[in-house]
Chains A and B, each alone.
Chain A
Amino acid sequence: MEPRRSFLTRFVTAGAALIGAGVAGLAAAVAVPRRRGATHRWRAAASMFDLPPKGPFVATLTERHADGWHETRKSMVVFLDKDGDEYRALSATCTHLGCRVAWNEESGHYKCPCHGGTFNRAGQVVAGPPPEGLRQLPVRLNPDTAELEVDL
């Protein structure tokens, strides 16, 4: 190949690759969502006097939540319970496929209505398909307000 032709061939190939890479880079930057860092914050979930003597207390925490250009509300159901002197907060979201588990007073278990996942009061799997126990959330008692606060 004559030298001019081979130079131009390389020039065109490189230039086209440059433009293509630029556009592809922009497309990737735009289309791949940003990862959002988890926000840690203590939220008041219930008063310590709300806890029933038997069984856990069901607290629903609703928060405003930025959803792209929209703002929506997100709820999270938490079981608050006392284990000896320690407070315990369990997420009500089943670790199998994300249904909401409910406390069953008779059996003393958390049961998932979808596929029968069963957890004991401490949140450990007793039966059914869930791969792991209910997620345990950090919980503390705010001595000033007597409120139980959880960190989602």
Chain B
Amino acid sequence: MIVRLADWLDHRTGFRAARHHLFDETLPPGTGWAFTFGSLLLLGLTLQVVTGTLLALFYAPTPDHAWDSVRYITTSVRGGHLLRGLHHWGASLVVVTAVVHMVRVILFGSYRAPREVNWGIGLVLLHVILAFGLTGYLLPWDQRAYWATVVTINISKLTPLAGEFVANLLRGGPDIGALTLTRWYGTHVLVLPPALFGLTALHLYLMRRHGISGPIREREGIPQPFFPYQAARDLTVALVVGAGLAALAWQGAPALEPPADPTAADYIPRPEWYFLGLFQLLKYFPGRLEVVGAIVIPGAVMTLLALLPWIDRARSRGLADRRWLLSSLAAGVAGITTLTVLGAMDKPPASDGTWNVREQAGLALMAGDTCTSCHSDSAVAGSIDPQRVSKPRDWVSSHLLDPEMISPGLREAPPTNEYDNGAILAALARGRSGDLPTLSAEEAGVAVLFNRNCVRCHTLGTVGGKEGPVLSTIGDRLDEAGLVRQITAPLEVKPTGDMPAFFDKLTPNEITRLSRWLASHRSTTSSQ
């Protein structure tokens, strides 16, 4: 029955001939494990297409919602944590496999005539893959994504003659924002995939047209068909690598950072690891020489690679005949590896995960009457869960300034000030990723006081102004009593100072609490 059905179908479609053509290709004797990376790459790309399509079912490419939708995928979609993990680590797998595949092609001299065109197509494919990585990196729209893109676009400005034009094209407008996000998303899901499919099809067609290049020295033996012999090797590699990928993906993609905030100018951006080498290279070319690191060197490397089939004038594919070329390859690989490792080691100091004083103040304010008189489970507006706030920052900001604006006539607007509002915005942003800390009543109260009165001029930990001295380790220099004097009437301590007095702005009790808390900030026990 099944055979008859297959016969019927074969008669109409010729699928048996197609299957024979696809799978029964004979390979040169000695084709072995080294030739499995192309298949692995094909599988990896297929996985990226499947996981990317699934992600697109949930993702919203707008600044207001991109971050929320990615968080929703990770936390609320069944299998979403694994899905995002697979797409994230799968991207790295594809880049690594593409490079390993390319190194194999160089080692075996497979780029040589008559395969020059296919070598060129492979190089273009590598760039398509990197473009996928670059555009995909922005899509979560968290701080990491946003600021890495700022750097990318600034680098693009170094393009000779057309720098501003290229940057404009990449941004889609004068600033990085909504238009950049839709542009990069459209490129990621609509422009690059057809390019990938077309070029891959062409790559495979030419591969079959010329056949596999096979081992460097031709071997005696009977040619074996691809299926099942080489297919079994391909599959073994795929299963081993796939198990590793699944183990990584099971941990999920790196946690989202807070949503993109163009005003957070102190954020230190870092690219995805496979661009770290390039990132490191730039550091050696400061100022006007930057174009050398950003464009000239990478461009020269790519040009050399593209011309490789013509540069290589050796008599044979033998390693001995191509010694100088392979030494340059080894040097190149070593150079890129070194740069990548150096780039990876040059990390900005990791934040220790505690909330800074402004964020703490915001959290304390949100828990206080100002917000909870309207926002609680039993009141008119529902309680505030920072993880569920989907309103954009500007909306929250104007709501804080004038709650009346959002719900006219509902009730009297609570008194607010710019410092409290800034703190609430900071706490909401911070609270969107990660757990909320618990603060004692004293910590909460002091954080609010510090944020209202001190943070404009003084830096504490990661936040604050630059006009006054940094207070992160003030306890080393002043004790509680000294701080009380300093805050109450600074001119009596130092007549030439700029600091205003606070005896008329704070109660003696507030000054004492603030001083006791500040005095506990010592270099050994520096918190924040």
Contacts and interface: CB of A to CB of B under 8 A. Distances in A.
B54 A27 contact: yes
A69 B227 contact: no
A27 B242 contact: no
Secondary structure at the A interface, as helix, strand, loop or mixed, is: helix
A16 to B, nearest CB: 7
Contacts of A12: 227-228, 231-232, 235
A23 to B, nearest CB: 6
B69 A8 contact: no
B15 interface: no
Contacts of A54: none
B439 interface: no
Contacts of A19: 43, 238-239, 242
A44 to B, nearest CB: 11
B77 to A, nearest CB: 6
Interface string A91-122: 00000000000000000000000000000000
B154 interface: no
Contacts of B54: 26-27, 30-31
Interface in A21-58: 23, 26-27, 29-32, 34
A69 B68 contact: yes
Q: Which of B57, B82, B235 has the most CB of A within 10 A?
A: B235
Interface in A57-83: 64, 66, 68-71
Secondary structure at the B interface, as helix, strand, loop or mixed, is: helix
B47 A70 contact: no
B228 A64 contact: no
B79 interface: yes
A29 B227 CA distance: 32
B393 to A, nearest CB: 16
Contacts of A5: 228-229
B388 interface: yes
A69 B71 contact: yes
Nearest to B234: A12
B390 interface: yes
A9 interface: yes
A11 interface: yes
Contacts of B227: 9, 12
A68 B77 CA distance: 9
Given A27-B50, A27-B54, A31-B54, A11 B79 contact: no
Contact of B228 (A11, A23, A66): A11
B78 interface: yes
A93 to B, nearest CB: 25
A31 B239 CA distance: 25
A15 interface: yes
Contact of B65 (A26, A30, A70): A70
A70 B390 contact: yes
B94 interface: no
A69 B232 contact: no
Nearest to A26: B79
Contact of B232 (A8, A27, A31, A71): A8
Contacts of B65: 69-70
A31 B57 contact: yes
B98 interface: no
Contacts of A32: 78
Contacts of A9: 227-228
Given A8-B229, A11-B228, A15-B235, A71 B79 contact: no
20 contacts: A8-B229, A8-B232, A11-B228, A12-B228, A12-B232, A15-B238, A23-B47, A26-B51, A26-B82, A26-B83, A30-B79, A30-B80, A64-B382, A66-B388, A68-B72, A69-B58, A69-B60, A69-B65, A69-B72, A70-B390
Given A26-B86, A70-B68, 16 more contacts: A5-B229, A8-B229, A8-B232, A12-B227, A19-B238, A23-B50, A26-B79, A26-B83, A30-B77, A30-B78, A66-B388, A68-B69, A68-B72, A69-B68, A70-B390, A71-B388
Q: Which 8 A-B pairs have the closest CB atoms?
A: A69-B72, A8-B228, A29-B79, A69-B68, A15-B235, A8-B232, A69-B69, A9-B228
Interface of B: 43, 47, 50-51, 54, 57-58, 60, 65, 68-69, 71-72, 76-80, 82-83, 86, 227-229, 231-232, 235-236, 238-239, 242, 382, 388, 390
